[in-house]
């Protein structure tokens, strides 16, 4: 049974990945400072899987504590989700983002080298690409992020490339996520952002349960199918499974990889809202608002490298994503806080 440290394991993608790891014989150990999550989420994973799940309230910037945890559990791999992820917030608070995302990853890598933990899976993002030069984005598309959040992800990618070149680490998987939505089909875990949601889907779901009056649609005059922004939404369970496949690959074919994780299809804001209305049976009132500065009209992934290197491809469609998002939101209208 392979022990895997999962940083940020109480968060949205982290909890779903712990479920998939446990289902496939891995033993995750969670570290989280709960800045954007709740310990209740980990209890839900334990209940859902009927497995033990050791966890520590710790910050990835505490190198000594992370080294101790890696050594104590003989971790062979780290999946690194911990970090801050809100684009708008990163413009307002760049130093916090560089601290959590860049200094945090530096600290974690230092701890891994000290503890002799060799395998690293990193949560990168499609935001590293920036304004599209061509679509779909392939992994070779120029990297030119348009906001501090994306800059922190690119900085970590560059740090990892230098570390690989130095020979200090070779088994590194950089996973560039597109737009994960949805939830585990049980409805027991899902995305529960603190404060006002920054992402579209949790906002839509909170409107559907009556926590917010209406959805603001930022721009309806883009050069897209219906004028609203287009993104490549993928089911969080599909995304979680890619992490298990990345770990499997290290045993089969050691060495670094960088892959896009998306479906390869874009959906507009209005298409997503209509699909969610269909799944939930609720109306989503809309306000059309001006474009937000820095927003990109449309982008989606070329996910073919994930298929050839990991054997991964997205299985779920938009209707599945909306059904499972609604299962989570309707069973947990106030997220984990009411538990
Ligand atoms: N959700 C997305 O749309 C998306 C897209 C691309 C990339 N990503 C990246 O994937 C990762 C996971 O995203 P998520 O959606 O699950 O976010 P999330 O906020 O739900 O999870 C991140 C977790 O990390 C924890 N955390 C933050 N800073 C920490 C620190 N210094 N030490 C320890 N724990 C810390 C938070 O409490 C939270 O539980 C992030 O790195 C994010 O940037 C997310």
Which CATH number do you get for residue 137?
Answer: 3.40.50.720
State the pLDDT at residue 47: 98
Distance of alpha carbon 202 from alpha carbon 205, whole angstroms: 5
Where residue 70 falls (left for φ over 0; alpha for ψ -120 to 50; beta otherwise) is alpha
Most distant pair of Cα atoms in the chain: their distance: 55
In sequence order, what are the residues at sequence separation of 6 or more whose Cβ sits closer than 8 angstroms to the Cβ of residue 37?
8, 10, 11, 12, 14, 192
- Is 194 domain-assigned? no
Report yes or no: 32 and 55 within 8 Å, Cβ to Cβ. Answer: yes
Report yes or no: 188 and 237 within 8 Å, Cβ to Cβ. Answer: no
- Is 322 domain-assigned? no
Q: Which of 54, 281, 231 is nearest to 129 (CA)?
A: 231
Q: Which of 38, 57, 49 is nearest to 335 (CA)?
A: 38
The phi and psi torsions of 300 (rounded to 5 degrees) equal -155, 170
State the pLDDT at residue 72: 98
Beta bridge partners, 231, equal 267
Overall number of domains in the chain? 1
Question: Burial of 195 by CB count in 10 Å (0-12 exposed, 13-18 middle, 19+ buried)?
Answer: exposed
Residue 303 CA, distance from chain mean position: 16
Question: Burial of 155 by CB count in 10 Å (0-12 exposed, 13-18 middle, 19+ buried)?
Answer: middle
Distance of alpha carbon 81 from alpha carbon 135, whole angstroms: 27
- Is 30 domain-assigned? yes
- Is 15 domain-assigned? yes
Q: Determine the atom of ligand 1 nearest the C-alpha atom of 192.
A: 20
Pocket of ligand 1, candidates 9, 10, 13: which has the most ligand atoms within 8 Å of its Cβ, to mutate? 13
User: Looking at ligand 1, which residue's alpha carbon is closest to its atom 9?
Assistant: 123
- Is 330 domain-assigned? no
222 is catalytic: no
State the pLDDT at residue 115: 98
Alpha-carbon torsion 303, 306, 308, 312, what sign? Answer: negative
State the pLDDT at residue 237: 98
Q: Mapping DSSP to helix (H, G, I), strand (E, B) and coil, where does residue 298 land?
A: strand
Side-chain half-sphere of 2: how many Cα atoms within 13 Å?
20
Q: What are the pocket residues of ligand 1 if the criterion is a CB atom closer than 6 Å to any ligand atom?
A: 7-8, 10-14, 31-37, 59-61, 81-85, 100, 104, 123, 125, 177, 179-180, 199
State the pLDDT at residue 1: 62
Alpha-carbon torsion 86, 89, 94, 100, what sign? Answer: negative
Distance in Å, CA 194 to ligand 1 centroid: 12
- Is 224 domain-assigned? no
Q: Determine the atom of ligand 1 nearest the C-alpha atom of 104.
A: 31
Q: Of the listed 97, 129, 137, 149, which one is catalytic?
A: 149
Report yes or no: 31 and 66 within 8 Å, Cβ to Cβ. Answer: yes
- Is 154 domain-assigned? yes
Distance of alpha carbon 41 from alpha carbon 339, whole angstroms: 10
Distance in Å, CA 223 to ligand 1 centroid: 31
- Is 331 domain-assigned? no
Per-residue pLDDT of the chain (339 residues; tens, 9 = 90+): 699 999 999 999 999 999 999 999 999 999 999 999 999 999 999 999 999 999 999 999 999 999 999 999 999 999 999 999 999 899 999 999 999 999 999 999 999 999 999 999 999 999 999 999 999 999 999 999 999 999 999 999 999 999 999 999 999 999 999 999 999 999 999 999 888 898 999 999 999 999 999 999 999 999 999 999 999 999 999 999 999 999 999 999 999 999 999 999 999 999 999 999 999 999 999 999 999 888 899 999 999 999 999 999 999 999 999 999 999 999 999 999 865
Neighbour tally for 29: CB within 10 Å: 22
Q: Mapping DSSP to helix (H, G, I), strand (E, B) and coil, where does residue 180 land?
A: strand
Q: Which domain holds residue 76?
A: 3-182+234-263+301-315
Distance of alpha carbon 235 from alpha carbon 245, whole angstroms: 16
């Amino acid at each position: 049974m392979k022990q895997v440290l999962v940083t940020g394991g109480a968060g949205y993608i982290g909890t779903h990945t712990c479920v998939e790891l446990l289902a496939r014989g891995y033993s995750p150990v969670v570290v989280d400072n709960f800045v954007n999550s709740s310990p209740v989420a980990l209890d839900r994973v334990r209940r859902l899987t009927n497995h033990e799940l050791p966890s520590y309230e710790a910050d990835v910037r505490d190198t000594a504590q992370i080294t101790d945890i890696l050594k104590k559990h003989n971790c062979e791999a780290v999946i690194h989700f911990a970090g801050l992820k809100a684009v708008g917030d990163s413009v307002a608070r760049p130093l916090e983002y560089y601290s959590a995302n860049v200094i945090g990853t530096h600290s974690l890598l230092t701890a891994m080298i000290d503890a002799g933990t060799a395998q690293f899976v990193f949560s990168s993002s499609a935001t590293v690409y920036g304004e599209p030069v061509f679509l779909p984005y392939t992994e070779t598309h120029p990297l030119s992020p348009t906001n501090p959040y994306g800059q922190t992800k690119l900085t970590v990618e560059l740090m990892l490339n230098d570390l690989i070149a130095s020979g200090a680490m070779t088994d590194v998987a950089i996973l560039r996520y597109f737009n994960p939505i949805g939830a585990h089909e049980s409805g027991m875990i899902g995305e529960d952002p603190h404060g006002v949601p920054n992402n579209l889907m949790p906002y839509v779901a909170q409107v559907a349960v009556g926590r917010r009056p209406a959805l603001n649609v930022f721009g309806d005059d883009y050069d897209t199918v219906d004028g609203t922004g287009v993104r490549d939404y993928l089911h969080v369970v599909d995304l979680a499974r890619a992490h298990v496949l990345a770990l499997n690959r290290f045993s089969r074919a050691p060495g670094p990889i960088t892959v896009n994780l998306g479906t390869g299809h874009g959906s507009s804001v209005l298409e997503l809202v209509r699909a969610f209305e269909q799944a939930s049976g609720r109306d989503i009132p809309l306000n059309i608002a001006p474009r937000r500065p820095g927003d990109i009209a449309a982008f989606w992934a070329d996910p073919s490298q994930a298929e050839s290197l990991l054997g991964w491809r997205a299985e779920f469609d938009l209707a599945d994503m909306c059904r499972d998002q609604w299962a989570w939101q309707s069973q947990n209208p106030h997220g984990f806080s009411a538990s």
